[in-house]
């Protein structure tokens, strides 16, 4: 999807193995990953997308001065990235790492269902959070995307790649259905 946003091919760099999983460890690992990429690779950018689960959905108001929501995962990632980047020493011949952040609401599987089920949207999830009544769950989304609620990592990658290729042909749908979570990622990347 990043290639579709950029309109050009990208190439991954080899990243050292991270042992932990889940939201808390993702946030915890941001500084070390940025330092590693900055000092030990020729990477130009880092993309981080996390699931929102039942945390607050990112809103445009969060990007205003003093608008950060400390419970919003995208705001937390942004703060951690900015703080870390300020501490990195310049490396001769290299520009600072660009960072693109996205918040999959409520999970990456919702993005992967985009265009296939018009009921799965950021707006629907935001309303569900407000009413504490959920028309779908992450478990249901996993079942719909992978055919199982407990997919292997290989199956997750295979399905994610197939759906990403489908979505890359028309990112406008994804931006319309997920304007703040995917929209933030698209805005970051287009701003490079």
The string of pLDDT tens digits covering residues 75-112 is: 999 999 999 999 999 999 989 999 999 999 999 999 99
Q: Residue 134: its pLDDT value, please? A: 94
Cβ–Cβ under 8 Å, residues 27 and 79 = no
Q: What is the mean pLDDT of residues 38-58?
A: 94
- Cα–Cα distances (Å) from 45 to 13, 49, 157, in that order, read 10, 13, 21
Domain layout of the chain by residue ranges:
2-190
- Cα–Cα distances (Å) from 16 to 13, 29, 68, in that order, read 10, 12, 31
Q: What is the mean pLDDT of residues 151-156?
A: 95
Cβ–Cβ under 8 Å, residues 97 and 43 = yes
54 CA to centre of own chain: 15
pTM to 2 decimal places: 0.92
> Quick one: pLDDT band at residue 14, thresholds 50, 70, 90?
confident
Residue 1's closest CA among 117, 161, 176? 161
Q: Residue 61: its pLDDT value, please? A: 84
In this structure, what token pair is assigned to residue 181?
């979570």
3-state secondary structure of 165: helix
99, 105, 107, 109: CA torsion to nearest 10 = -100
For the chain, give the mean pLDDT. Answer: 93
Q: Residue 16: its pLDDT value, please? A: 67
Please say if the pLDDT value at position 179 is more than 90: yes
Residue 133 burial (CB < 10 Å; 0-12/13-18/19+)? exposed
Q: Residue 167: its pLDDT value, please? A: 96
Cβ–Cβ under 8 Å, residues 112 and 49 = no
Task: Give the rounded percent of residues in the chain with a pLDDT score beyond 70.
Answer: 98
């Amino acid at each position: 999807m990043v290639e579709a946003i950029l309109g050009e091919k990208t190439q991954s760099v080899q990243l050292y193995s991270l042992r932990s999983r889940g939201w808390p460890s993702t946030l915890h690992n941001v500084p070390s990953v940025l330092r590693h990429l900055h000092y030990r690779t020729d990477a130009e950018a880092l993309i981080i997308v996390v699931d929102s689960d039942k945390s607050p959905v990112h809103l445009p108001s969060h990007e205003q001065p003093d608008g950060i929501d400390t419970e919003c995962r995208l705001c937390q990632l942004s703060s951690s990235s900015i703080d870390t980047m300020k501490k990195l020493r310049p490396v001769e011949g290299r520009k600072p790492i660009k960072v693109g952040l996205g918040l999959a609401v409520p999970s990456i599987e919702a993005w992967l269902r985009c265009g296939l089920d018009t009921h799965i949207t950021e707006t629907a999830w935001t309303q569900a959070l407000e009413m504490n009544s959920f028309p779908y769950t992450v478990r249901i989304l996993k079942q719909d995307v992978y055919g199982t609620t407990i997919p292997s990592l290989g199956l997750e990658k295979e399905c994610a790649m197939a759906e990403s290729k489908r979505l890359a042909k028309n990112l406008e749908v994804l931006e319309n259905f997920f304007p703040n979570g995917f929209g933030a990622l698209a805005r970051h990347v287009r701003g490079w």
